[in-house]
Structure 1
Amino acid sequence: MLNLQALPYYRWLVFSVTATGTFMATLDSSIVNVALPRISAMLDSSLPLVQWVVSAYLLTISCLLPLFGRLGDMLGRRSVYTAGFLVFTLGSLLCGLAGHIALLITARVIQAIGAAMLMANASAIVAATFPSSSRGQALGMVGTIVALGSLTGPSVGGVLVDLFGWESIFYVNLPIGLLGFAAGQIILPREARQNGEAFDYPGAVLFATGMICFLLAIIHGEDLGWLSKTVITLFIAAVALLTLFVLHEKRAPFPMIDLSLFKIWAFWSGNAAGLISFMALFSNTMLLPFYLTTILHLSPSQVGLLMTPFPFLMALLAPISGYLSDRINPAFLSTAGLSVTTLGLLSLTLLGEHTSLWEIALSQATLGLGNALFQSPNNNSVMSSVPPEKLGIASGFNSLVRNIGQVSGIAISVSIFENRQAAALAGFTQPDAAQQIAAFLSGYHTALFAGALFAAIGAALSFVRRTELIAKN
């Protein structure tokens, strides 16, 4: 029988399996958004209700990422990762068969459980398989897969929905999921279980409920009001539950999240910089389409084409920056990346009513360059800083930080935009078109400036991290 592990390219076979799961999970998160109007009409559901098709998926993943990262360390990442393919495929099948919005939301939760199993362990498998001399390049290519999934999701989803109906965006996952499971069973290496370690069920419950309260408050803060009783209660509950979680983890013999990881400078500073970077970037991701359609009156296809330079450059340059991070201090690259991102976001604060399309494309290319310079070296720094037996929880926490940064960035940018726009229109009872455009641009510019400020703070943190790492070396 052929010994795959003896093959010189075995590491890349492992990478191909992790890339399959990463691409599928990323594609599905972006492919669903384009189908929401059709789902709302076909299932006779209101827009606030159909939004839970997205929200339920996000909440479930965020709550379970550390849990499945810990289970991967305990039971073996191969077992948890390949099971994720089956759960995700089952959820996709149930989504396609759902004839009622409640069934669809429930199926999305099942799908998200599988996605969390995949996301929490993909980077850990890559980091454990590749030596330090090529780990950065491999993790950079993971970034490429994420970018390609985000890039192709909306376009592929639009074609599938138009030709075959909204159900097809879920059915497309079935052959990919089954192929990924079979390949994982054949290719991924078996790992020894950590016998004698019990799973931290109380910690898992405290963390999950705390994260649910926090994300619900973030998601609904703008529409319910940040100072409403509901949002304040959710924030208080989140703080209380997560505080109890930390206190419990300090006493637990086998904690779900090993808090000693946060004593590792590269781990906590890298995750903090990652959180800030996603908060900064998603001010652009959320608001630019509204600017392009409201102010420049572009079609959806034109909007998608104009935003393409971002993921294209990210996909092209992420492996290169990952390769470089294996040879020079990763913090040099991450500092440069967030500095470039700051400049890209500041350029967006100059957009106006008559801005040329090439200027917008150039700003997106700048953001793609900055993100490519930052993400791969930062992930390499984080994943290389932890012991091999903790790679699963480190990978899960790294993915969790990405999700929280995205949600927080969207919530903060939308809140700033709407408040600033409302303030600009406060003196007009019936504002004309020019006044409405001016108010929109005022809110847009302020929100993007806030995003640039976040990126600048992240760059400063990476710069400090650079000097600390040099001192330690």
Structure 2
Amino acid sequence: MQEKLQNLSYYKWLIFGVVSTGTFMATMTASIVNVGLPPITTALDTNIATAQWVVTAYLLVITSLLPLVGRLGDIWGRRKVYGFGFIGFTAGSLLCGIADSIGLLIGFRILQAIGAAALMANAMAIVTGSFPQNERGKVLGMIGTIVALGSLSGPGLGGVLVEHFSWHAIFFVNIPIGLLGYAGVHYVLPFDQELRQEKIDYLGAALFTTSVVSFLLALSYGTEWGWASPSTIGCIGFALIVFGVFIRYEKKIDQPMLELAIFKNRAFSAGNLAGLLSFTAMFTSTMLLPFFLQNILAFAPAKTGLIMSAFPLVMAITAPVSGILSDKVGSGTLTTVGLGLMALGLVLTAKLHVDATLWLIMGSQALMGLGNGLFQSPNNNSVMSAVEPRQFGVAGGINALARNFGMVCGTALAVSILEYRRAASLSGISQPTADQQVTAFMAGYQEALLVGACLAVLGVVISLKRDGKPAKK
């Protein structure tokens, strides 16, 4: 059947459809679970701090495994690893749905995360290898649209499922999608050609995972533990030591998990660093804007969701267009303009006040969505085109790692700045009034978003320095 499909003129778009299924499922699940945390906390007789690990464990596992599963795709074959991703994710979803304790739920979320990592790391590699150079920007832009639609649909779908069924349904909904995706892998995705007979660097993978998990724990809980506490400093120090050992080890072995020479490619390194900064900047707003809208402006959750949907909607429209343009005019100008618009949108969002109009708030989010849409597709095109085909898997994994790492950094940075400035503003006031509390919040909120804007500007500078020359194919 595959041979017949491969003769079709639209075969590459069938491949895109399979990859889109996995991408949509992984991004939707990342945003759908937060809606179910309150009923999960009640149903499984736990507390918020413990229930939060349903989200935290998922994020930690995905982020730490992305380079490894990308490398496995390069060695074992991306078709095989992508199929394993669907199996792991679907099985994990089923087990999460029937879990009857918080411990089991967290454990099954880890299995789900392993599958999601395999999907995320290899998605861009499969798409990049299936389309010619002059169409990659367009198709990577369309992947950006799928990501936006998945993120956009998650909270709304989750709310409907929890309200009309139960929290179990937010996991069960993945099962038919996962089965459909696996069927697509089996019948549509081509078999990998000329796989490398190389050993898998398990020790390097273990060192990298340990380092990343330790560092992300410090970022995630630094505000709660205290940034100068022994726990936070210990986690960061341990992460740096292990990462140093990882680098030394990778330089010595013949077949490392991560080919460090790949970072000598300026277009690849600059693109990933700019991507990390873009997500860090973006998540200062993603984290704090809902609190501003609901706690300060007293907007209902539904209205808050509608306002924040302006960002992914504009991004979903812009991303394919910018991807097509990047195939024709290159990535440098588009990424630079995109990050500049994102910085401007963050400044406007930071300057919102209690009398801000609905149109101004939505306009600032639309501007950020425009900037992000202009940036992401050309940036991904630049990163993936900078490496050789044999490195597509690990390159896609690193690109996804930069994205997830930026999300965690942006969240931690926003919360830390907000809490520090709020505490400083209320210092010496034993019983602050409502106005004083609002003033204190606004001071931290504005400073956090302005720092995010500065990071976007730094991304502009880095983006300007990229070489932009594709690797020889």
Q: Answer whether TM exceeds 0.5 for this pair.
A: yes
Cα distance 1:430–1:119, how it changes in 2: closer, same or farther (>3 A)? same
1:254-303 deviation per Cα after TM superposition (whole angstroms, max 9, x unaligned): 11011110011110000000000000000000000000011100111000
Amino acid aligned to 1:322: G
Map of 1:205-244 to 2, 5 A cutoff? 205-244=206-245
Structure 1 Cα separation of the partners of residues 196 and 278 of structure 2: 38
Q: Kindly indicate whether the alpha-carbon contact (under 8 Å) linking 2:270 and 2:465 is maintained by their aligned counterparts in 1.
A: no
How far does the alpha carbon of each residue in 1:180-234 deviate from its partner, in whole angstroms, 9 at most, with x for none? 0011111001013534311101101100111111111111100000110011011
Per the alignment, residue 329 of structure 2 pairs with 328
Provide the secondary structure at the position in 1 that maps to 2:329. Answer: coil
Distance 2:76 2:289 in 1: 43
Other-structure match for 2:459: 458
Matches of 1:269 and 1:386, distance apart in 2 = 13
Aligned partners of 1:76 and 1:193 also within 8 Å: no
Match of 2:319 in 1: 318
| Deviation (angstroms), 1:329 | 2.0
**Match runs of 1:184-333 below 5 Å:** 184-192=185-193, 194-333=195-334
In structure 2, distance between residues paired with 1:193 and 1:137: 27
Counterpart residue identity of residue 231, structure 2? T
Instruction: State the match for 2:340 in structure 1.
Output: 339
User: 1:6 Cα shift?
Assistant: 1.2
CA contact (8 A) 1:75 1:193 kept: no
The normalised TM-score by structure 2 is: 0.98
Q: Which runs of 5+ in 1 are unaligned?
A: none
Give the partner amino acid of 2:91.
L
Residue 192 of structure 1 aligns to a residue in which SS? coil
Aligned residues between the structures: 470
**What is the aligned-residue RMSD (CA, Å)?**
1.2
CA deviation after TM superposition for structure 1 residue 432, in Å: 1.1
The AA in structure 2 aligned to 1:67 is L
Normalising by the residue count of structure 1, what TM-score does the alignment of the two structures yield?
Answer: 0.98
In structure 2, what residue type is equivalent to 1:274? G
The alpha-carbon distance between structure 1 residues 347 and 195, as it changes in their structure 2 partners (threshold 3 A), is closer
Query: For residue 44 of structure 2, what is the aligned residue in structure 1?
Result: 43
Q: Give unmatched runs, 5+ long, in structure 2.
A: none
Q: Distance in 2 between matches of 1:23 and 1:459?
A: 29
Q: Residue 20 of structure 1: CA displacement? A: 0.1
Query: For residues 345 and 317 of structure 2, what CA distance do their matches in structure 1 show?
Result: 18
Mapped contact 2:331–2:468 kept (Cα < 8 A): no
- Return the letter of the residue paired with 2:26: A
In structure 1, what is the equivalent of residue 25 of structure 2?
24
The residue aligned with 2:419 is: 418
Report if the CA contact (8 A) 2:382-2:468 is conserved.
no
Deviations 1:426-454 (A, max 9, x none): 13221111111111111110111101010
3-state SS of paired residue (2:142)? helix
**Identity, % of aligned pairs?**
53
Q: Provide the residue aligned with 1:400 in structure 2.
A: 401
How many angstroms apart in 1 are the aligned matches of 2:208 and 2:392?
19
Question: Are 1:148 and 2:152 counterparts?
Answer: no
CA drift of 1:82 comes to 1.0
CA distance in 2, matches of 1:68, 1:111: 14
SS at match of 1:326: helix
Matches of 2:195 and 2:468 in 1, distance apart?
32
- 8 Å Cα contact 1:273-1:458 kept in structure 2: yes
Q: CA deviation at 1:469?
A: 4.3
What SS does structure 2 have at the residue aligned with 1:241? helix
Equivalent position of 1:177 in the other structure: 178
User: What is the aligned partner in structure 1 of residue 121 from structure 2?
Assistant: 120
Pairs within 5 Å for 1:373-412? 373-412=374-413
